[in-house]
Amino acid sequence: MGKMARVGEWFAGLSAVLVLLGTGAYGGGRMVSVGVAKVDVTPLHPVVLAGYGGRQTEFEGVETRLWARAMVIGDIDPVAVVVIDNCGVPAVLRDILARRVAAMGISSERLVVSATHTHNAPNLAGYAPILWAGRMTPGQEERMKRYTDFAIEKMAQALGQALENREPLALSWAQGRVDFGGNRRVLGDGRWQGFGLEQGGPVDHSLPVLVARDEKGRVKALWANYACHCTTLGARNHVHGDWAGYANEAMERNFPLARALMTIGCGADIGPQPSGGAAVAKRHGQAIGDEVQRLVEGGLRKLNGAPTVASVTASLPLVEPKPREFWEDLRSKGGFEGELGVAMLKRLDEGERIPNQVAYPVTSWRFDNDLAMVFLPGEVVVDYSVRLNRELAWPRLWLTAWSNGMPGYIPSKRILKEGGYEADFSQVYYGQPGRYRDEVEDEVVGAVRKVVGESFLAPADQERAPFHRLPSQERRVIRRLSERAKEHGPPGSSVLRKAFYTHLRHALPALQAVIPLTAEETAWHNWAGDFVPRFFIRQEKRAQKVGWLGRVPARGDTPRVLCFSGGLGWSSEPTTEGFSLVVGGQERLRFDLSRELSFWQGADGALDLYYLPAWKSEVDTGGVFLIVLGEQFLAKGGQIEFRVESVGEGSKRWFAIDAEQEMERLTPMLLDALNPWGK
């Protein structure tokens, strides 16, 4: 090969490298300097945990590590975000951190400080101040302040390491979906009744994901965002990152070279469904990890370089403050309200006015016209996501709450009308002198529209965002049953599986009408995990009863099998003598909780009972029951009363019947999914 040919080949290779570095690879935009880091912020000494007022002692153990995770984008005047596993970072602490990292080259207006809102992390000084006012010992207060200093130091350290770790990476993003968040505001007659699952309530199941990859296409950084409270574990007094911590672990497990960040969207009235322990939290986190992996492997939209930043501070209006006499009267009541009275009187005694508005900084990071990230302080309810996804171009929008301050809950007009925790009670804990006025929603939305600009307004023909209704889990459960049916079951189970499938082929709906008797009515997970109306009895007392009328077919060659949907639950409760199945006024068999395909046979051979759990939590199941009638029912065609009664007592174990049965629709789906059992 001649000299000129070799030089030409060298230039061609160099050109290819320059093109790669200039435009990015594997779907990313042009390369930009990106750095990520994580630093352990697990407490090293006893400290009280935030999130639940009933916990007054310091934590009893550490179940998972806590982290401060940072990402920096850009060389000169970079943008930076740090996310800490914590319930929330007050604005005053955010400002302390901003001053500390200014010397590193991170300006305050380009810094975002977010929290995962895990309720199993140490309380930071100033967070929900009335929750702890007058309830901490001097020692507890000193240790809380010491941990607060430690957390600020570690967040600064994470940002510093992210700056040092910067390298040329290509940014891209996608918008996926997970669906374990459910609206927790249970309503009655249009008013807040308590916490649970409001099946028809709004949700935000969007999962926007930011990805940074090197010139070889290797994922080096991931940032995901989901709108849901981090409260899967409940009030267990142990340090834990909850589902957000597990989501970060899942992302980093799937992409070992990457550092992951998990932030929280407008999920202040959204709770994890189900909840109840670390195993459930891990499943939620894994769901995010799996969806992120699918998005990364399935195609991303490129982003060309670092974002531009815009900020505005809105004034959120509170109701007019009460006079001094009101606060003096409130102080005398004691409790949390009394402490709020003390705090307001202290303001007045020091010559300050009681505020009638809240300063509310709203920030956006805009990646050209391809993506607008919006950062909102406080616990922002999902209605803001619903409205902003309607008024703005939702396919290019990312909403993160719990950022740059913790003024408390940010309710919408709807929630102010319904009242309850997010509108009223929570204001006390955050030291606010009253509820917001209805104008609060327009103020927040107006600020967001201002920082994202006109180019992000929704086009006239924009379709509705598909993230705001709780979808049925039917397809997922049927798919899971089908996958399990293809696998080999435990030894000896093939006969049971085949018998169930054979009976299911001939099954007729069991219920013509439910007879509640002493049963209670509620909404709970059905065979697919969806919340539906149910009648249920517990084993707390003997002879708790729920019944139904069923029609037995006339004599014929077809086996007489009746089917209905319901469930069994609370397996962690004490075992008792179980439940009795009564047919035509006579007890035919006894059964109890089961988490697998099960079979019970009556002592006189009159009938058999099968149960197939399709949906499971750690303690409850929902599924399908089959009643196979024996020969003595051949001459008894017609209507028969069935009844289930509690035999044991002293346990909250339950049996439930779905108030609305859909067996004509469900049976064919089950037969198709369980087809291998019939072979």
Q: Is the pLDDT of residue 415 over 60?
A: yes
Q: Is 88 helix (H, G, I), strand (E, B) or coil?
A: coil
- Mean pLDDT over 385-394 rounds to 97
- Cβ burial, residue 273 (10 Å; 0-12/13-18/19+): buried
Residue 632 banded pLDDT, cuts 50, 70, 90: confident
Q: Is 32 helix (H, G, I), strand (E, B) or coil?
A: strand
Mean pLDDT, the chain, integer: 91
- Please report the pLDDT score of residue 8 as a whole number: 37
What would the two tokens of residue 103 be?
Answer: 């010397």
Q: Is the pLDDT of residue 557 over 80?
A: no
Indicate the pairing of strand 654-658 with strand 79-84: unpaired
- Please report the pLDDT score of residue 488 as a whole number: 62
Does 532 or 401 have the greater pLDDT score? 401
- Mean pLDDT over 575-592 rounds to 93
Where in 368-452 does DSSP place strands (E)?
371-375, 379-380, 397-400, 409-410
- Please report the pLDDT score of residue 29 as a whole number: 66
Percent of the residues in the chain that have a pLDDT greater than 90, as a whole number: 81
- Mean pLDDT over 471-476 rounds to 81
**Per-residue burial over 226-247, b = 16 or more CB atoms within 10 Å of its CB, e = otherwise:** bbbbbbbbeebbebbbbbbbbb
- Please report the pLDDT score of residue 568 as a whole number: 97
Domain ranges of the chain: 474-678
Where in 407-494 does DSSP place strands (E)?
409-410
Indicate the pairing of strand 371-375 with strand 531-538: unpaired
- Mean pLDDT over 179-196 rounds to 92
- Please report the pLDDT score of residue 167 as a whole number: 98
Q: Is the pLDDT of residue 209 over 50?
A: yes
Q: Is 434 helix (H, G, I), strand (E, B) or coil?
A: coil
- Mean pLDDT over 455-472 rounds to 89
- Mean pLDDT over 127-153 rounds to 96
pLDDT tens column, 122-132: 999 999 999 98
Do the Cβ atoms of 594 and 655 come closer than 8 Å?
no
In the block, which residue shows the tokens 């607060």? 148
Integer angstrom CA distances of residue 458 from 259, 283, 464, 612: 33, 35, 10, 47
Which residues pair with residue 47 across a beta bridge?
none
- Please report the pLDDT score of residue 6 as a whole number: 35
- Please report the pLDDT score of residue 637 as a whole number: 64
Do the Cβ atoms of 284 and 180 come closer than 8 Å?
yes
- Mean pLDDT over 445-454 rounds to 98
C-alpha–C-alpha distance, residues 147 and 559, integer Å: 69
Angle at 236 between CA 232 and CA 240, to 5 degrees: 65
- Please report the pLDDT score of residue 491 as a whole number: 52
The model's pTM is 0.73
Residue 28 banded pLDDT, cuts 50, 70, 90: low
Element (H, E) at 668: helix 663-673
pLDDT tens column, 82-102: 999 999 999 999 999 999 999
- Mean pLDDT over 647-651 rounds to 92
pLDDT tens column, 508-532: 998 888 999 999 988 788 999 887 8
Where in 414-543 does DSSP place strands (E)?
507-509, 513-515, 520-525, 531-538
- Please report the pLDDT score of residue 197 as a whole number: 86
**Dihedral angle of Cα 570, 574, 575, 578, to the nearest 10 degrees:** -60
- Mean pLDDT over 334-360 rounds to 96
Beta carbons within 8 Å of 332's beta carbon, 6+ residues apart: 338, 341
Q: In 3D, which of 169, 161, 294, 181 has the Cα closest to residue 231?
A: 181
Tally of residues, the chain: 679
Residue 198 banded pLDDT, cuts 50, 70, 90: confident
Query: Rounded to the nearest 5°, which phi and psi values hold at 444?
Result: -65, -50
- Please report the pLDDT score of residue 11 as a whole number: 31
**Dihedral angle of Cα 432, 435, 441, 443, to the nearest 10 degrees:** -50
C-alpha–C-alpha distance, residues 291 and 296, integer Å: 9
- Please report the pLDDT score of residue 143 as a whole number: 98
- Please report the pLDDT score of residue 25 as a whole number: 41
Residue 18 banded pLDDT, cuts 50, 70, 90: very low
- Mean pLDDT over 206-227 rounds to 98
Q: Is the pLDDT of residue 567 over 90?
A: yes
pLDDT tens column, 298-324: 989 999 999 999 999 999 999 999 999
Query: Rounded to the nearest 5°, which phi and psi values hold at 602?
Result: -65, 150
Cα torsion 8, 9, 14, 16: sign: positive
Does 2 or 602 have the greater pLDDT score? 602
**Per-residue burial over 534-572, b = 16 or more CB atoms within 10 Å of its CB, e = otherwise:** bbbbbbbeeebbbbbebebbeeeeeebbbbbbbbbbbbe
Residue 428 banded pLDDT, cuts 50, 70, 90: very high
Helices 138-164 and 91-102: crossing angle in degrees, nearest 10, is 40
